[in-house]
Amino acid sequence: MSQQLFYLAMAGLDASMDRVAAAANNLANRGTTAFKAQKPVFEALPLYGQGQPDRVIVAATEDGADLRSGPIEQTGRSLDVAVKGQGWIVVEAADGNPALTRNGSLTISPTGMLTDSAGHPVLGDGFAPIVLPPLQSVTIGADGTVSGAPAGQSPDQIAALARIMLANPPNASVRRRTDGLFQDASAPLLPDAGVRLQLGALEDSNADTVAMMMNMIETSRSFQMQTEMMRMVFATAQGQSSPLSLS
């Protein structure tokens, strides 16, 4: 019985530490544009002893995410866009693969490449990075169309230059990557003409500060309870003059 209680408490401690780490990361990213709060996904895994699984432990097996939209704040900046409702902006990750983001704080590099604030190239038709000519003005339409007046021409000679690729895969198949971007784990990305952008605005983080603080308090109490359980198990084993075996 003492071994069963020990493993039960140990599994609880591991889960508590994962929850605290996720809550701390959510709080740290409260000001990150379009950040999606972490939601650790736990799974019961067999714990092997003497060649056969004789215990079960709970472990975080996936970095889940709360994909609900965050509040939208107006900025008035022409290169700021927020995805309205469901949908994603498609960018090129550092490994060269298409990835998903809702970070619409866009900028134009010195070479004319349209990127997000983290430097990921924004993709257009054919998954090609969008590269713009020198412009004296630029606007982005609700459908992702990038238009501008080329430098040296009349300011009213505005032309459509590219279109940001927007996608809307099912939330159930969207997974967070290790670099903070997202990907569709079930199928190749396809453009979705139904996704719309709100211009001159950015989406805030959807992490709820109050909820995260309450979660950390609740998890800390659970951690203390599990630690006390382990202390009692060791005390009982010592009182019975039979050291606790962890094998």
Q: Give the model's pLDDT for residue 94.
A: 96
Q: Give the model's pLDDT for residue 246.
A: 44
Q: Give the model's pLDDT for residue 50.
A: 65
Could you tell me if 22 and 40 are in contact, meaning their C-beta atoms sit under 8 angstroms apart? Answer: yes
Q: Give the model's pLDDT for residue 102.
A: 97
Q: Which residues, 6 or more positions from 130, have their beta carbon under 8 angstroms from its beta carbon? A: 113, 114, 121, 122, 123, 124, 146, 162, 164
Give CA angle at 233 (228, 236), nearest 5°: 120
Q: Which residues, 6 or more positions from 171, have their beta carbon under 8 angstroms from its beta carbon? A: 67, 86
Q: Give the model's pLDDT for residue 53.
A: 60
Q: Give the model's pLDDT for residue 57.
A: 65
182-184 and 174-176 as β-strands: parallel, antiparallel, unpaired?
A: antiparallel
DSSP 36-51: --EEEEEEEEEEEETT
CA dist 163 and 78 (Å) reads 15
Q: Give the model's pLDDT for residue 61.
A: 57
Express each pLDDT in 20-78 by its tens digit: 778 888 888 888 899 998 887 666 666 666 655 656 666 665 567 889 999 999 999 99
Strand partners, 175: 183
Secondary element (H or E) of residue 88: strand 88-92
pTM score, two decimals? 0.74
CA dist 215 and 19 (Å) reads 8
Q: Give the model's pLDDT for residue 213.
A: 74
114-116 and 174-176 as β-strands: parallel, antiparallel, unpaired?
A: unpaired
Backbone phi, psi, residue 48, to 5°: -85, 140
CA dist 58 and 40 (Å) reads 12
Residues of the chain falling short of pLDDT 50: 1, 242-247
Selection from 171, 183, 1 nearest residue 86 by Cα: 171
Could you tell me if 87 and 192 are in contact, meaning their C-beta atoms sit under 8 angstroms apart? Answer: yes
